Structure 1
């Protein structure tokens, strides 16, 4: 019986240890990540906890991230005062496996053009980078649409 309790503890601890943290990041640090060399498609999805279409598409990005063919970065653009109250609990409750960032910047007019000059400010928004080419979309994606889009930019 003691071994069962030890096993339950180890399994529980494994789930706790796996829980995702949210990294605060500046626009300069984010640009460094966007400039990294990779054989994979780099995906930067911009979302917020108050955006229903954003929340709806996160499972598709999570599933896409699991296959290892892409590198998904989920970038929260929630307001600074929502970091501890909403963003961290949201990420922990959903046990996200993608890398999660909180963009700790004040004025969107200063940092949005550094992501894409095409960005009107709408979310969800996603930046795809493959072989130094950037593709930007302001739309909600399904898993099938993501797979189609990635196949298109790889070819």
Structure 2
């Protein structure tokens, strides 16, 4: 999927399959970056997590609650799994299905953080969980380099006019 058409197909596929928690697309960083940096009015709340990360697992329900709270607003929650591609069907898909996660889930297929982290969040050490809120059109970029607390994301989002 190197062309713009490939990205458009991925976006359509995400839209169709986001309701099916067992459908988790595997993406490269360039594809993820194109999805979350579109110059539109949507605020992207992107959480990087893993099934083996206890603080990540603890905060995941907050992101589904956020998705419900802002369902009528231009806020899109994306959960980016940092698990390995080889564990997609054995760990990630069952994890998402068993926890009934409704937010869009992607698996990032990148093994070397050093090749892409600075392009997205230079201040990120790579520790999980990590959340970034982005809106290219309004020049919003908010880094949260720790587990989020209940109500914390809502407080951040409400600072912006959406």
What is the rounded CA distance, in whole Å, between the counterparts of 1:144 and 1:109 in structure 2?
A: 32
Residues 32-111 of structure 1: pairs in structure 2 closer than 5 A? 32-67=34-69, 68=71, 69=73, 70-111=75-116
Q: Secondary structure at the match of 2:124?
A: coil
| Structure 1 consecutive aligned stretches of length 4 or more whose deviation exceeds 6 Å | none
Which range moves more in the overlay, 109-118 or 56-65? 109-118
What is the rounded CA distance, in whole Å, between the counterparts of 2:40 and 2:61 in structure 1?
A: 23
Q: Secondary structure at the match of 1:101?
A: strand
Larger radius of gyration: 1
Deviation per residue, 1:73-111 (Å, 9 max, x gap): 000011233222111111111221111000011211112
CA RMSD of aligned residues (A): 1.6
Q: Which has the higher helix share?
A: 1
Look up the match of 2:20.
19
Deviation per residue, 1:25-71 (Å, 9 max, x gap): 11010010121133232111000000011011110010100131321
- Please, which runs of 5 or more residues in structure 1 have no aligned partner? 1-17
What TM-score, normalized by structure 1, do the two folds share?
0.82
Aligned-pair CA distance for 1:154: 4.3
Which range moves more in the overlay, 53-62 or 130-139? 130-139
Pick from 128, 131, 140: which aligns with 1:126? Answer: 131
Q: Give the length in aligned residue pairs.
A: 138
Does residue 139 (structure 1) correspond to residue 146 (structure 2)? The answer is yes
What is the rounded CA distance, in whole Å, between the counterparts of 1:25 and 1:66 in structure 2?
A: 25
What is the rounded CA distance, in whole Å, between the counterparts of 1:139 and 1:153 in structure 2?
A: 21
| Alignment check: 8 A CA contact 2:24 2:107 kept | yes
Aligned-pair CA distance for 1:114: 2.1
What TM-score, normalized by structure 2, do the two folds share?
0.78
Q: Secondary structure at the match of 2:116?
A: helix
- Please, which runs of 5 or more residues in structure 2 have no aligned partner? 1-18
- In structure 2, relative to structure 1, the CA distance for the partners of 1:47 and 1:58 (3 Å cut) is same
